[in-house]
Structure 1
């Protein structure tokens, strides 16, 4: 694995790379509360055949972290990744998890010329996800942590007592056997960089998603599937034990996709990349090479 900093849109971003740059590129976009190095489990299993590239996204790790919440709208951040794909000589296969999936979907919809194939690992398309949230059911209840993260005092609460609250959010009802003490220390070190915890939380403050209270419904404007269409081949890999993103958050995804393949993994949850890296790597290989 190689690490370096790269200037994108006039700002510094930290990049990790695995494998030979002459091989097909997989651009790996992490979510909350991770960082680019979180892809190592998967990238090390794919680097023989692929060039895996994982940036610390805006607000995370060693990358640019402006303090203003509006700087974390997906539309504001997308030029970061567009510039990286241009640097890589795109188009590329984009792999997204959690908030990285939101960025990946945004790219797929707004800049399909830069995304040859789309892989999502326990992440959600804004159409089905907002529909599930607006219904006031189990996904709404599961997403109440997002309301907490939008609070003005979220950073102070998350970082208190050695980041106990943030570690608790990470682990709530999930299999964290992969989180060794050594790995935990690395995560805490990344969260502790000046301004980074605010940057991470600002992703939640900037999102336009409407999150009602459990049991309440809200009306949201109808979404045009054509404007939110995923036109390239799309693979969704889903750990069925995820308690933060529930299967209902992907219901109706086919409405927005021209070519969708779903693969479910029993016994894995939101952190499937860490829990089942061999299985996830093989699923990606089979789909990328054989379309199945």
Structure 2
């Protein structure tokens, strides 16, 4: 495995953990992880890259080794955090930006809001959430009001082996070796000897704001960078969009808003395709990015 190093930055008043791979002088490639994940999740993808890159990957606020927020988490804060991170790490030069899942949604919206800051964009499984309707708002707000009064928590695990079993339950394609590596970064041993997922339980609260896909597509239409879209053939998230035909039609409708798009479908891979087929994804990155 390629070795990584940690840096801690003050980003918008919070302590952010930034993971680095590669030499400082190498071309920069920023990687943004998904929901309930951590920056170390990109290790296998970084290992498979053949070109020399300086990979820079933050743990989002409330995940991994970054500081937890107070109370709820809001999507625009990820955009503002990314803006601050890029301002610190590459204040004048446009960057290559890769995101997975939540990270891909942050990256793609940001690329439309700040098109001059992005050189090229890579989206791994970044098709967004199912569209919502205005009449869903009352129930969504009511659910959020009910849950925000409580004290959310995440399950603890008795042993590191149980953490590994949970990861392989989520993704049966994971080898034992890769699972063991991910487990030590995805969870940490607490003071009583059990293992806690390195994520703030407040991430589990429902978002009271509806997902407005038209606004997302407006941002995508403003992206000027070349976009590499990478999708897993066996993605577990596709059924959220409806039947296979409905999901395909909706995804294609959304992707039509990008100006310069290259698509890659990865066989024998699920949503965590950077774990399942890192060599294929890395080869596409090496070939497509300048």
For the aligned pair, the TM-score class normalised by the smaller chain equals 0.7 to 0.9
Where structure 2 has 5 or more consecutive residues not aligned to the other structure, the ranges are 134-142, 190-194, 240-246
Say whether the 8 Å CA contact 2:163–2:187 is kept in structure 1.
Answer: no
CA positional deviation for 1:199 = 4.5
The separation in 1 between residues aligned to 2:117 and 2:168, in whole angstroms, is: 32
- Normalised TM-score (structure 2): 0.75
Which residue pairs with 1:263 in the alignment? Answer: 264
Q: Does residue 45 of the first structure (1) align with residue 48 of the second (2)?
A: yes
Question: Secondary structure of 1:3's partner?
Answer: strand
Alpha-carbon distance change, 184 to 35 in structure 1, aligned in 2, over 3 angstroms? same
Cα shift at 1:106: 2.1
- How far does residue 183 in structure 1 lie from its aligned partner after superposition? 3.1
- Please, which of 227, 238, 260 is the counterpart of residue 231 of structure 2? 238
- Superposed CA deviations along residues 124-169 of structure 1, whole A, max 9, x for unmatched, are 24xxx434x66xxxxxxxxxxxx99x9667943x415559799758
CA contact (8 A) 1:159 1:166 kept: no
C-alpha displacement of 1:174: 5.0
Listed one character per residue, the Cα deviations across residues 100-121 of structure 1 (whole Å, up to 9, x for unaligned) are: 1121122112111221111011
In the TM superposition, residue 250 of structure 1 has moved relative to its aligned partner by 2.0
CA contact (8 A) 1:119 1:236 kept: yes
Deviates more, 1:238-247 or 1:35-44: 238-247
Matched with 2:13 is 10
Displacement after TM superposition at 1:223 (Å) = 4.8
Distance 1:161 1:21, change over 3 A: closer
SS in 1 for 2:200: helix
Residue 31 of structure 1 pairs with residue 34 of structure 2: yes
Residue 277 of structure 2 aligns with which residue?
Answer: 276
Q: Which residue of 2 aligns with 1:180?
A: 179
The answer to whether the aligner puts 1:84 opposite 2:85 as a matched pair is yes
Query: What is the CA-CA distance between 1:239 and the residue it aligns to?
Result: 1.1
The alignment of Structure 1 onto Structure 2 pairs a total of residues equal to 257
Alignment correspondent of 1:62: 65
Among 96, 111, 114, the alignment partner of 1:111 is 114
How far the C-alpha of 1:224 sits from its partner, in A, is 8.0
- Alignment RMSD (CA, Å): 3.3
Give the superposition deviation at 1:227: 4.3
Residues 176, 208 of structure 1: alpha-carbon distance in 2 compared, 3 angstrom cutoff: farther
Structure 2 contact 156–197 (Cα < 8 Å) conserved = no
